[in-house]
Structure 1
Amino acid sequence: MAAAPLYCVCRQSYDVSRFMIECDICNDWFHGSCVQVEEHHAVDIDVYHCPKCDVQHGPSLMKKRNNWHRHDYTEPDDGSRPVQAGTSVFVRELQNRTFPSADEIMVQMQGHQVTQKYLEKQGFRYPITVPKLDGLGLKLPPSSFSVRDVEEYVGGDKIVDVIDVARQADSKMKLREFVKYYYKPYRPKVLNVISLEFSDTKMAELVVVPDIAQKMSWVENYWPDDSFFPKPFVQKYCLMGVKDSYTDFHIDFGGTSVWYHVLWGEKIFYLIKPTQANLALYEAWSSSPNQSEVFFGDKVDKCYKCVVPQGTTVLIPTGWIHAVLTSQDCMAFGGNFLHNLNIGMQLRCYEMERRLKTPDLFKFPYFEAICWYVAKNLLETLKELREDNCQPPAYLTEGVKALITALKNWLKREVTEPASEVPDHIRPNRLIKELTKEIRYLEVSKPMKSQGSGGCPLTRSTLDRASHHARRTARRLRHHHHHHHAPKTPSNLEILELHTRQVLKRLEVGPFEEDAPFSSTVTAKFNKASVASAAAVERSLDNNLRLLFLYLLAFREHPTSPTTEEEAVEGMLSMAGLLYPQRPEESSTAQEPWWSSPGSGDTSSGSNSSEAWGDQSPSRAASSPLCLDPSPGTDYQYCETTLSPPLHPSKRSAPNTPPISNQATKGKRPKKGMATTKQRLGKILKLSRNNHFLMASEDAAFCDLVFIPSLGDCLVLV
């Protein structure tokens, strides 16, 4: 086997990742770093002489500049050729133009206002500007942080992508060479660094991305640690540009949203809405041969100008078309993130990149792989919402539909373009089928009316109507009982009914506060006990009250002794996993429950209690009037869920109970009423112990409205 040819004065074999230049005399090839020729300088050389040849033939010959408005400055300046983007003439003309102010579209906010709840409710469709860091969760180096400091933390040997602005051409150079260029008193060229991602360097410790980007990011929440594909690093960029640097109109890769902070200096953004018409124009402009000669802002109805001064943070949503001018030497930090709010637009931008044959270097790394991970997790989310009888937010439903279409198309493309990014542990066809089934279920179900965005706000009038309905139902049941049974001493269950009526009558609800934590939006006075989530109360109030009185009616139709009634209530709670531990002073007088001593107690009574409360086979449970599990036809309700994507299993804290089926367990999903319900009730019970109240859920299919004398006046609806 022949040995690989050796090149350059260093006599190394060819390395595709290193820039090389050919000597026009000896025709040998040399590494630019070995002969002190930077890649961006090579274009200026007309005839190159290597160090050996220039001894005999003299120094290299440089190209002659003939114009200042064309990328190829050797073209004759006859005044007939249009100005091209990035040239000094272009930048001067751009600075003299007038544009509509971005104040028309920018949303100015304080850092603490930029929350998941806000974006999920209001949408993330317009750019947001934040004048101060406070409340964003963003941490950065001080404004005295310099380009030399970047070299110290990142390393001078780091290869960075550098844009020659006048030619709008990309080249590579070592960071130390860029730093030398930056501090020269005279800069022969305008060079711009906009893609220095430093997550794998010491400088990463100096920067903490904004909370909103961290909590919404697909990569941070869905990307598994054991993925075969390397994790995309796109969250931490350092941008160093000199005065008059210009980046032409573009959409950030994969339709990612962007956070952007100017540490010192100033940037000017030219922003264009991502309407259907503008996106179509943008794709046509991007693929045209004279793209650099046409200012895209002139092709749309409005192009907005936004000046971003030192200390300001900007958030740009999915798909916004923008160009950037550096009006003075500037250092900025930024990052990109995909999220659930604009899935359809993100996919559209990715497909546009494919049609434009965008090089992989300028695309989101492993975009299709992250979409498969997201699809798997969103399937779990949809299943859980369905089990909870909740309607997903509209943005999530539409996003999943767009995702299904994209995943199908990618699988079909595999036949002709085998470049799969489907993770090994994902069964793509089955995943698509299950997602489609969840969407069809949503479409055939009739959702309840909702107020606001995604939630069911609880108002005073709502609870007043529900309380009135409960009292009316109690009167009907009492009247029914009066005509069918002879008067007798009130039983424990009759006391329960009376107490329930009294508590409902005392129910008082405060005004709904939109910005308060959701679990505390509604407060009711239950003798110092708190009502749970407002949305949960409204969601299940009518159903729970109806179920309560059905239980009472069932007891009256099947009379039992007072002892058996108490045992039945205890049995009901035990079967639901909600039996509250007895207090020390009560333990001495408490009787041992019937289910722990099979041989004790009245056999017939025990049989009746067991039959009524849970010792049933599946078939008997299904036919029992007490087992009222929601049917598929039940109307959906909106529930205010967390608007951020659920964490990937590897990022979640370990629960006290075994997790439900997910990517980590790779097991079958537990049936409704089993593991999932157990976990939910376990968390509820933990809260009840700390706050001295007990919560019961209709998921348990045993009880919905409970009064425990040992806990005092306590009534909780879930």
Structure 2
Amino acid sequence: MATAPLYCVCRQPYDVSRFMIECDICKDWFHGSCVQVEEHHAVDIDVYHCPNCEIPHGPSLMKKRNNWHRHDYTEPDDGSKPVQAGTFMFVQKLQTRTFASSDEILTQMHGSQVTQRYLERHGFRYPIAVTQLDGLGLRLPPSDFSVKDVERYVGGHKVIDVIDVARQADSKMRLKEFVKYYYSPQRPKVLNVISLEFSDTKMSDLVVVPDIAQKMSWVENYWPDDSYFPKPFVQKYCLMSVKDSYTDFHIDFGGTSVWYHVLWGEKIFYLIKPSPTNLALYEEWSSSPNQSEMFFGEKVDKCYKCVVRQGTTLFIPTGWIHAVLTSQDCMAFGGNFLHNLNISMQLRCYEMERRLKTPDLFKFPYFEAICWYVAKNLLETLKELREDNCLPPEYLIKGVKALITALKHWLRREVTEPASEVPDHIRPNHLIKELTKEIRLLESGSGGNKPMKTQGSLACLSTRSSHERGLQAPRNGRRLRHHHHHRDSHAPKAPSNLDIFEQHTQEVLKRLEIDPFEEDSSFSPKVNFNKLSTASAAAAERSLDNHLHLRVHNLPYACYSVDVLWICVCRDPSTSPSTEEDAIQGMLSMAGLLFPHSSEEGANSQESWCQGSCSSSEAWGSHTHSPGREDSPPSGYQYCETSLSPPLHPSKRLAPNPPPISNQATKGKRPKKGMATAKQRLGKILKLNRHEFKVFLLAFFTPMDPLFLRFSERSGGAPWWLKSISWG
């Protein structure tokens, strides 16, 4: 077996990750670190002599500078070649150019104003500058934090990417060598460090990114801990730039938005709106072979100049084209994040990168993988909003549509370019189908079977709590019924028994918000009725007294006790007694309100009922009307206050109640129905009308509830089960 050839003075085999230089005399190859030659310095060597050949042939010969305006400074300066970006003459000329003031597009805000709710209401389309950091959530090292301190926390041997500004070329060097260069009295060239990500170093503890960047970040909210792909780290960058450093016009990878804070020094940003025209011009300019000879700021209608001074934080939205000049030595911190507000623009920027064949080093890591994770979670978000009768905001609907188109395109591309980033536990075709179905339901205006009702451009906002959202639909239902009765006042219709009991149930549910249900993994909700007032129930009963004609004693019924919670279920008289018990057992089991059975027979009947009636989640989402409710129109979609920011990935969510011990593998799955609140489960049962089990009534009472006592009086005395039960 042949051995690998050995190189350098260290006699090691070739390592692709290490820079090497060839000796022009002996033709052997040497590691730059072994012969003290930095990669950025090697381009200045015309003829290289290794340490062995240097003795008889003398030192290496260096290139001669012939110009100050070309990347190749050895070109003859005959005045025929235009100035290239980053060169000494380019920087001098740039500082004399005239630009539009950033005051036209820059939003000045206090740190406490930059909130998730603000961006969801007003959008994130223009840059934001923050000079007062209170409330922003950003934590940074002190203003005297130096480049040497960076070396102390990160480690001098860390290999970093360094840009040779005059050539606009990237090279690698050890951090300690850059620190040595930075503090040298003479800097032979301009070097710029803008991609030192330090999340995996000790310096990470010194920096906390702004709250808004954490709360909206796709990676922070959607990336599962058990992902096969390594998690992208793009939130913490340290930028160390010397005077006259320049980064040419670009869009941050994957169309990410950026937060950027100048710790000390000063930066000048040249900003261009991401209009369709400007983006088309940018792609044309980027693909041009003489790109560096054309200043892109002159190709668009307006290029804005924004000076970012010490202590200022700048937020740049998705897709903004920008260049950066360092007017004095500067240290800055920044980070990138994807979010839900501009999904279509992010996807457009990513596809542009693919067309421009951008190297992977300068692309968002595993961009397609994070999009699959996002799609899976947005599907759950759309389903939950539909179930809560909330209409998603327009930007989210447009974003999901763009995401569906991109996912379909990526799947088709897999046939010819097998480089899949589809996570293993995601079924891509099924996911696309379900997302398409949700969008179709929204566009058809029927979230299931209910018509949508729009009330402006703002949908579910982020201030109202989840239990308030849950109450919105019942309240609206009451308003609709009230309106209906007024509209038909010329032909008044007596309310049905179910109307009375449902109103009473809703009133009690409202008061249960005072003391929320606590789920017990072994059995049932514990409700403290001492805090509940029966005044509203009594008032409702009095207002409907003239129409109260209950003949429940003519109906078969059953009653189950949950501590002091009473649930009365009346079935259809046509239902056989044998199926009645199964129906009630199954409903209460699904609601999580059933006592544990001591007999196998009870367990079997419960299991068989659930299999027959609840084989799919659609059973819970069906919107059917109980008999006697024809007079009540269906309630439409309601705009509710709910957070439209990325919901946490299931593996990161804090469950309001401890999940059962057996539920250990819920990552990436919808929360199980058993983990819903007791109130939500009761609401689902009220809607249930499947197969032969017709649920006429479900209500619950306190022991001395006036409406319950009146029910007993009007029905000819207490029923048989009431006589045999102690109120305790």
**TM superposition score category, shorter chain reference:** 0.7 to 0.9
Determine the structure 1 residue equivalent to 2:439.
439
Matches within 5 A, 1:26-425: 26-425=26-425
TM-score, scaled to structure 2: 0.76
Asked if the contact 1:112/1:135 (under 8 Å) is kept, the reply is yes
Change in Cα spacing, 1:70 to 1:493, as seen in structure 2 (3 Å) is closer
Partner-residue secondary structure (3-state), 2:274: coil
Change in Cα spacing, 1:133 to 1:580, as seen in structure 2 (3 Å) is farther
RMSD, matched Cα: 4.5
Determine the structure 1 residue equivalent to 2:430.
430
Alignment deviations for residues 207-247 of structure 1 (CA, whole Å, 9 cap, x no partner)? 11111111111111111111111111111000000000000
Alpha-carbon offset, residue 52 of structure 1: 1.1
Amino acid in the other structure paired with 1:159: V
Change in Cα spacing, 1:699 to 1:397, as seen in structure 2 (3 Å) is farther
1:453 lines up with 2:458 in the alignment = yes
Distance 2:300 2:633 in 1: 48
Alpha-carbon offset, residue 430 of structure 1: 1.2
Alpha-carbon offset, residue 59 of structure 1: 0.8
Distance 1:280 1:415 in 2: 29
1:6 lines up with 2:19 in the alignment = no
Alignment deviations for residues 140-191 of structure 1 (CA, whole Å, 9 cap, x no partner)? 1000100000000000000000000011000000000000000011111000
Distance 1:124 1:357 in 2: 28
Determine the structure 1 residue equivalent to 2:651.
650
Distance 2:211 2:647 in 1: 15
Alignment deviations for residues 336-366 of structure 1 (CA, whole Å, 9 cap, x no partner)? 1111111111111000000000000000001
Determine the structure 1 residue equivalent to 2:678.
682
Alpha-carbon offset, residue 103 of structure 1: 1.1
Amino acid in the other structure paired with 2:216: M
Alpha-carbon offset, residue 250 of structure 1: 0.2
Alignment deviations for residues 115-145 of structure 1 (CA, whole Å, 9 cap, x no partner)? 1111111111111111122111111100010
Distance 1:712 1:133 in 2: 57
Amino acid in the other structure paired with 1:248: D
Alignment deviations for residues 38-89 of structure 1 (CA, whole Å, 9 cap, x no partner)? 1011111111111111111111111110110110101111111111000111
Alpha-carbon offset, residue 558 of structure 1: 3.1
Partner-residue secondary structure (3-state), 2:375: helix
Alpha-carbon offset, residue 556 of structure 1: 2.7
Asked if the contact 2:567/2:699 (under 8 Å) is kept, the reply is no
Determine the structure 2 residue equivalent to 1:556.
549
Alignment deviations for residues 86-127 of structure 1 (CA, whole Å, 9 cap, x no partner)? 011111111111111111111111111111111111111111
Matches within 5 A, 1:5-24: 5-24=5-24
Distance 1:257 1:247 in 2: 17
Distance 2:252 2:360 in 1: 13
Distance 2:490 2:36 in 1: 95
Amino acid in the other structure paired with 2:458: S
Partner-residue secondary structure (3-state), 1:335: strand
Asked if the contact 1:548/1:705 (under 8 Å) is kept, the reply is no
Distance 1:549 1:626 in 2: 24
Distance 1:498 1:170 in 2: 72
Worse-superposed segment, 614-623 or 368-377: 614-623
Distance 2:45 2:297 in 1: 34
Matches within 5 A, 1:422-501: 422-445=422-445, 446-451=451-456, 453-455=458-460, 466=479, 469=482
Alpha-carbon offset, residue 708 of structure 1: 5.8
Alignment deviations for residues 13-32 of structure 1 (CA, whole Å, 9 cap, x no partner)? 11111111111111111111
Alignment deviations for residues 579-609 of structure 1 (CA, whole Å, 9 cap, x no partner)? 7847xxxxxxxxx9889xxxxxxx99x98xx
Distance 1:109 1:203 in 2: 28
Distance 2:439 2:549 in 1: 43
Distance 2:668 2:229 in 1: 23
Alignment deviations for residues 291-327 of structure 1 (CA, whole Å, 9 cap, x no partner)? 0000000000000011100011111111000000011
Could you tell me which runs of 5 or more consecutive residues in structure 2 were left unpaired when the two chains were aligned.
Answer: 446-450, 511-530, 534-539, 588-608, 688-694, 708-728
Asked if the contact 1:263/1:332 (under 8 Å) is kept, the reply is yes
Asked if the contact 1:69/1:90 (under 8 Å) is kept, the reply is yes
Asked if the contact 2:568/2:698 (under 8 Å) is kept, the reply is no
Alpha-carbon offset, residue 625 of structure 1: 2.6
Partner-residue secondary structure (3-state), 1:650: coil
Distance 2:503 2:477 in 1: 19
Distance 1:632 1:68 in 2: 78
Amino acid in the other structure paired with 2:549: R
Asked if the contact 1:649/1:662 (under 8 Å) is kept, the reply is no
Alpha-carbon offset, residue 697 of structure 1: 4.4
Change in Cα spacing, 1:669 to 1:184, as seen in structure 2 (3 Å) is closer
Determine the structure 1 residue equivalent to 2:537.
none
Distance 1:638 1:45 in 2: 68
Asked if the contact 2:123/2:341 (under 8 Å) is kept, the reply is yes
Alpha-carbon offset, residue 632 of structure 1: 14
Partner-residue secondary structure (3-state), 2:220: helix
Worse-superposed segment, 27-36 or 442-451: 442-451
Alpha-carbon offset, residue 640 of structure 1: 2.8
Distance 1:184 1:303 in 2: 36
Distance 2:128 2:122 in 1: 12
Distance 1:407 1:352 in 2: 16
Change in Cα spacing, 1:42 to 1:663, as seen in structure 2 (3 Å) is farther
Distance 1:15 1:474 in 2: 83
Distance 1:198 1:21 in 2: 29
Asked if the contact 1:107/1:127 (under 8 Å) is kept, the reply is yes
Determine the structure 2 residue equivalent to 1:534.
none
Identical columns (%): 70
Change in Cα spacing, 1:409 to 1:452, as seen in structure 2 (3 Å) is closer
Distance 1:303 1:699 in 2: 60
Distance 1:83 1:329 in 2: 24
Asked if the contact 1:474/1:549 (under 8 Å) is kept, the reply is no
Amino acid in the other structure paired with 1:453: L
Amino acid in the other structure paired with 1:681: T
Asked if the contact 1:649/1:664 (under 8 Å) is kept, the reply is no
Change in Cα spacing, 1:323 to 1:386, as seen in structure 2 (3 Å) is same
Equivalenced residue count is 621
Worse-superposed segment, 467-476 or 244-253: 467-476
TM-score, scaled to structure 1: 0.77
Could you tell me which runs of 5 or more consecutive residues in structure 1 were left unpaired when the two chains were aligned.
Answer: 485-490, 505-527, 531-546, 583-591, 596-602, 686-695, 714-718
Change in Cα spacing, 1:464 to 1:354, as seen in structure 2 (3 Å) is closer
Alpha-carbon offset, residue 479 of structure 1: 6.7
Asked if the contact 2:650/2:667 (under 8 Å) is kept, the reply is no
Matches within 5 A, 1:690-709: 697=683, 700-701=686-687
Determine the structure 1 residue equivalent to 2:641.
640
Partner-residue secondary structure (3-state), 1:121: helix
Change in Cα spacing, 1:440 to 1:480, as seen in structure 2 (3 Å) is closer
Alpha-carbon offset, residue 614 of structure 1: 5.9
Change in Cα spacing, 1:707 to 1:99, as seen in structure 2 (3 Å) is farther
